[in-house]
Chains A and B, each alone.
Chain A
């Protein structure tokens, strides 16, 4: 599917889509992550898990069924082959490692693989919902977020300052500027997004990072 990427969220969602493998069971957080399926190549089909109790989450087709919503409470559909279950089973799937990938938004992510995305003390305390279980149990945790906060400050830090959603849980951070992999030795810059230079990423990233082989090759070529 070729689409023009016009804003940061589209760039991020399209890059996250490249991480998906055909047949992956995937749980998408509310907001930006739900844009990801729009950018999947035709030969990659993923099975979406909805934490409120089913696999086979699909777009709403036909009439709204008030008993069928996604994890954001929005009317949704279920694809042929889907299955419903209760919340214990849903989180057994999540915590038990039966979900291949989860994609979540972030307020902050850091060099140790920590993620903060559920509260801002004194401001916003919506609750963690299923996020803490997802980052703990999913085989691969991808943070899909804009590189900087609205005030321009870096969201990729040496160490998160906000209360954590999970400790040492993040595998990959995808922003509109770059892709970082979290390793035992800290962050590795895997890729620069199209048209982004290394200096820009350095300037907008508080955390220190190593430069991965792909980026080195691109720089010398």
Chain B
């Protein structure tokens, strides 16, 4: 099965009203070419799941600036002033989630779990509207799983079967988002033949990766 695609082919995955998750921490580990393809696809009303909304001109930030997002689920929006502006103006819904809880909700979504119990947020506004359970005398919030129709990932290297290797702190949300979406598209800097990545070195197995876009490849 050929998993290598062009940016134009990536565009065919995007539809109005879709839920999309994207890896990255302040733009580091975000597949910015795929974000550009999403912008060019001209889809609207996206629900975006990402750690943060990065900056106005990097990471997933341009999706916010160009009004493609109806709702964002993130732990931090402070570095992209446009997110806060649209939130206050009522143009976009923002669900702020503690970073560890966001990671676990995505993990739960990919792991077939009905949610996770976390002590994070107990006694704060985060607990509003959530079920609280006491286990062995300690209070926990029930946090529900998150899934998406498409996950946009960034890895350093892939082989042609989609086995992935990440680089430095660009790993962040990418590995577990690979389990939590119907379609997983990854942008890589380097493509190698199957067998060239030692199985011990694989960080995300290729069975989870549907499509690979190689940076600098055909548009």
The A/B interface has a contact count, at CB < 8 Å, of 137
Contacts of A125 in B (CB 8 A): 77-78, 84, 87, 96
How many Å lie between the Cα of A124 and that of B11 in the bound state?
A: 36
Q: B residues 64-123 with Cβ under 8 Å of A?
A: 74-79, 84, 87, 96, 98-101, 103-104, 107, 118-123
Point out the residue from B100, B171, B174 that lies within 8 Å of A95, measured CB to CB: B100
Which of the 9-residue segments A80-88, A177-185, A197-205 touches chain B? Answer: A80-88
Contacts of B29 in A (CB 8 A): 67
A72 to chain B, nearest CB (A): 8
B103 touches A128 (CB 8 A): no
Point out the residue from A73, A78, A86, A132 that lies within 8 Å of B120, measured CB to CB: A132
How many Å lie between the Cα of A102 and that of B169 in the bound state?
A: 20
Tell me how many residues of A have a C-beta within 8 Å of chain B: 40
Q: Name which residue of chain A comes closest to B54, CB basis.
A: A73
B91 to chain A, nearest CB (A): 15
Tell me how many residues of B have a C-beta within 8 Å of chain A: 44
A86 touches B169 (CB 8 A): no
In the complex where A67-B29, A68-B169 touch, is A166 in contact with B98 (Cβ < 8 A)?
A: no
Q: At the interface, yes or no: B19 with Cβ under 8 Å from chain A?
A: no
How many Å lie between the Cα of A114 and that of B122 in the bound state?
A: 12
B65 to chain A, nearest CB (A): 17
Q: At the interface, yes or no: B187 with Cβ under 8 Å from chain A?
A: no
A52-B26, A129-B52, A166-B123 given. 13 additional CB < 8 A pairs?
Answer: A52-B28, A53-B172, A65-B168, A68-B169, A73-B79, A87-B25, A87-B103, A88-B103, A125-B77, A128-B99, A128-B126, A136-B119, A137-B120
14 contacts between A and B (CB under 8 A): A52-B25, A53-B171, A53-B172, A69-B169, A73-B26, A84-B171, A86-B171, A87-B100, A124-B78, A125-B78, A126-B78, A132-B101, A136-B120, A166-B124
